[in-house]
Amino acid sequence: MFMRCFAGLLFLSSLGSAWAQLTPVGLWRNIDDKTGEARAEIRIVESAGVLSGRIEKRLGKNAKPDDKCEECSDDRKDQPIIGLEIIRGARKTEGKDVWEGGKILDPENGRNYTLRLTPIEGGKRLEVRGSVLGIGRTQTWVRVP
């Protein structure tokens, strides 16, 4: 009897960890959808049901540690790229494993795009869609273990 209960608890705890991965919260490596090159690591966090994400590390071969967001036009203008908040305001869509309603910043051109985040492959990858008036592009980010 004890072994059945123990096995059941192990099974339930493994389900919990699998479900916990179906979230954008964590550390991600973004991959350039045009070149296939890793560009940066972004940490996504949640506070009061709202997601935000900051660049923790730049990986591009031309990245300099002191680069600033010169193209930004809001409060991020001339702020360092490392530490820059590029994801703001996304919330989980009720009944779905999708986070929407926020914005994502492309620090290379300073533009903000409407954001949709969708964990895929059991949370190992994250589809990141940025769009304006329904036209946009999707990148697939990889979870950093």
Q: Do strands 26-31 and 38-47 pair parallel, antiparallel, or not at all (unpaired)?
A: antiparallel
Q: In this predicted structure, which of 3-17, 65-79, 106-120 has the lowest mean pLDDT?
A: 3-17
Residue with tokens 């779905």: 96
Domain layout of the chain by residue ranges: 23-143
**Average pLDDT of the segment spanning 60-74:** 91
How long is the chain?
A: 145
Q: pLDDT tens, 7-53?
A: 443 444 444 444 446 999 999 999 887 888 899 999 999 999 999 99
Band of residue 60 on the pLDDT scale cut at 50, 70, 90? confident
**Average pLDDT of the segment spanning 125-135:** 93
Contact 5, 16 (CB under 8 A): no
Band of residue 61 on the pLDDT scale cut at 50, 70, 90? confident
CATH number belonging to domain 23-143: 2.40.128.520
Q: How far apart are CA 79 and CA 67, in angstroms?
A: 8
pTM value > 0.85: no
The pLDDT of residue 7: 41
Q: How far apart are CA 75 and CA 114, in angstroms?
A: 18
Residue 21: both structure tokens together: 């991965």
**Average pLDDT of the segment spanning 62-74:** 92
pLDDT at 58 over 70: yes
Q: How far apart are CA 23 and CA 92, in angstroms?
A: 9
